[in-house]
């Protein structure tokens, strides 16, 4: 397995050599792994790059990408891109240089990739994971970005820890599907955005519990500096854009449902006028709507999780079953409503049951059963 480690650096002269040594010594213990190490340095004034250049004489697998200071996001985009397009890695592992994430944990991430997961996130928020030593300011920062923005506003629920850098990502069929060149994040919003982009590829996510501690050497780049406000504004913007993008799926689903409804009405009407049993006519109309819903949803609404080949058949049967559920829900709601309020109210209860019950029910079933992301744990 060809692994590319990506280490963004800004003033990490105390850390970078030790980090490279450790990654290489861990890799040596695994005969089936090879490691490349990409350091993306923003012309650190402390001379980080000259340390890396010296190490390049000792290690042939160390690559240095130097660029002007633009922020963590831009550095990571450059590193990911190099790992995929130039080094043709199988797995990409970004990590910080400062040892807050323990590089010794990287084999645990790879193990899950070898088990078939595509994105394995080192996590502080699953059982067994923890943070040591954050002050109230870092806690507040993290909770606002991770819980309020990433989880609630953006609605990225594939993982619980969205903010960290340390993770392992499969390239083939996953990271190589993400258009890195379209990602414009300058700051730490990249971490959330890349998780979202990866989720759209249908990737299987897993979170490995780890301990995150304080840095021993060098200074943190988080805090009140000239990039701080820019990065926060960008994070809020990213969260809202992700929410908007996700709601596009819902809008498409809604439109497809409306087309299905019209189709069912038209088909039923056409057949009814042709002297066949009205019950049969409505049933044929319903199946017409089911076929249209399934096809349009598969090739449009959920095209990012498209079902292909032989699975189309079993999924179509499942879809019919789900639709039968929707019919039962409507029948029950209209039956009960008209029983209490009289037959003339049937239309009100039909509309209410569609809006309040059938639309959320079907959306849930489609997302979690028919077009579910092949998931998680």
Residues that bind ligand GTP (CB under 6 A): 8-10, 12, 40-42, 69, 71-72, 75, 96-98, 100, 215, 220-222
- Looking at the Cβ atoms of 13 and 204, the one nearer to ligand GTP is 13
Question: Which position among 98, 197, 207, 234 is part of the footprint of Mg ion (CB under 5 A)?
Answer: 98
Cα–Cα distance for residue pair 107/331, rounded to 1 Å: 54
| Least spacing, CB of residue 71 vs ligand GTP, in Å | 5
Residue 225's binding partner among Mg ion, ligand GTP, none (Cβ under 5 to 8 angstroms by kind) is: none
Q: Is 301 in the site for Mg ion (CB under 5 A)?
A: no
Helices assigned H by DSSP within 156-224: 189-200
| Least spacing, CB of residue 161 vs Mg ion, in Å | 14
Quick check: 41 and 11 in contact, CB under 8 A? Answer: no
| Least spacing, CB of residue 92 vs ligand GTP, in Å | 16
Quick check: 109 and 207 in contact, CB under 8 A? Answer: no
Determine the residue with CB nearest ligand GTP: 220
Tallying the residues shown for the chain, one arrives at: 377
Residue 241's φ and ψ, nearest 5 degrees, are: -65, -40
Cα–Cα distance for residue pair 112/49, rounded to 1 Å: 33
Residue 35's binding partner among ligand GTP, Mg ion, none (Cβ under 5 to 8 angstroms by kind) is: none
Cα–Cα distance for residue pair 16/99, rounded to 1 Å: 10
Three-state DSSP state, 231: helix
- Looking at the Cβ atoms of 186 and 359, the one nearer to ligand GTP is 186
- Looking at the Cβ atoms of 215 and 252, the one nearer to ligand GTP is 215
| Least spacing, CB of residue 214 vs Mg ion, in Å | 8
Provide the token pair at 101.
């994430």
| Least spacing, CB of residue 100 vs Mg ion, in Å | 4
- Looking at the Cβ atoms of 76 and 307, the one nearer to ligand GTP is 76
CA distances from residue 283 to 72, 241, 269, 290, 333 in whole angstroms, order as listed: 57, 41, 11, 10, 19
Please name every residue paired with 4 in a beta bridge, in sequence order, or none if there are none: 36, 92
What b-and-e string marks burial along 275-289, b requiring 16 or more CB atoms within 10 Å of the CB?
Answer: eeeeeebbebbbebb
Q: Is 14 in the site for Mg ion (CB under 5 A)?
A: no
Residue 158's binding partner among Mg ion, ligand GTP, none (Cβ under 5 to 8 angstroms by kind) is: none
Cα–Cα distance for residue pair 186/238, rounded to 1 Å: 11
| Least spacing, CB of residue 90 vs ligand GTP, in Å | 23
Question: Which position among 100, 264, 292, 293 is part of the footprint of Mg ion (CB under 5 A)?
Answer: 100
Residue 9's binding partner among Mg ion, ligand GTP, none (Cβ under 5 to 8 angstroms by kind) is: ligand GTP
How far from the centroid of its chain's Cα atoms is residue 11's Cα?
30
| Least spacing, CB of residue 117 vs ligand GTP, in Å | 24
- Looking at the Cβ atoms of 14 and 96, the one nearer to Mg ion is 96
**Contacting residues toward Mg ion, per CB under 5 A:** 96, 98, 100
């Amino acid at each position: 397995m060809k692994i590319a480690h990506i280490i963004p650096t800004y003033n990490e002269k105390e850390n970078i050599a030790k980090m490279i040594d450790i990654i290489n010594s861990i890799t040596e213990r695994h005969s089936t792994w090879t490691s490349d190490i990409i350091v993306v340095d923003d012309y650190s004034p402390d001379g980080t790059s000259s340390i890396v250049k010296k190490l390049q004489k000792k290690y042939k697998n160390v690559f240095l990408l130097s660029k002007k200071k633009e922020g963590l996001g831009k550095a990571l985009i450059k590193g990911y891109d190099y790992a995929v397009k130039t080094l043709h890695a199988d797995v990409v592992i970004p990590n910080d240089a400062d040892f807050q994430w323990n590089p010794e944990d990287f084999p645990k991430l790879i193990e899950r990739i070898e088990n078939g997961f595509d994105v394995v996130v080192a996590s502080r928020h699953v059982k067994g994971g923890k943070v040591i030593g954050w002050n109230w300011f870092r806690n507040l920062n993290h909770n606002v970005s991770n819980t309020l923005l990433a989880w609630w506003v953006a609605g990225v629920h594939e993982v619980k820890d969205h903010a960290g850098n340390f993770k392992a990502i499969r390239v083939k069929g996953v990271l190589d599907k993400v258009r890195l060149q379209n990602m414009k994040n300058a700051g730490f919003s990249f971490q959330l955005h890349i998780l979202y982009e990866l989720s759209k590829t249908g990737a299987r996510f897993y979170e490995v519990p780890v301990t995150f501690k304080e840095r021993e050497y060098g200074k943190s780049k988080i805090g009140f500096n000239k990039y701080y406000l820019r990065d926060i504004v960008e994070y809020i913007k990213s969260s809202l854009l992700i929410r908007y993008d996700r709601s596009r799926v819902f809008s498409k689903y809604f439109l497809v449902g409306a087309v299905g409804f019209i189709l069912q009405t038209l088909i039923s009407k056409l057949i009814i006028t042709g002297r066949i049993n009205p019950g049969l006519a409505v049933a044929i109309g319903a199946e017409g709507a089911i076929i249209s819903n399934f096809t349009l949803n598969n090739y449009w609404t959920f095209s990012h999780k498209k079902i292909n080949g032989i699975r189309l058949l079993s999924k179509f049967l499942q879809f019919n079953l789900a639709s039968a559920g929707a019919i039962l829900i409507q029948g029950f709601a209209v039956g009960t409503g008209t029983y209490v309020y009289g037959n003339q109210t049937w239309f009100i209860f039909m509309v209410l049951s569609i809006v309040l019950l059938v639309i959320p029910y079907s959306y849930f079933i489609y997302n979690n059963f028919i077009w579910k992301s092949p998931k998680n744990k």
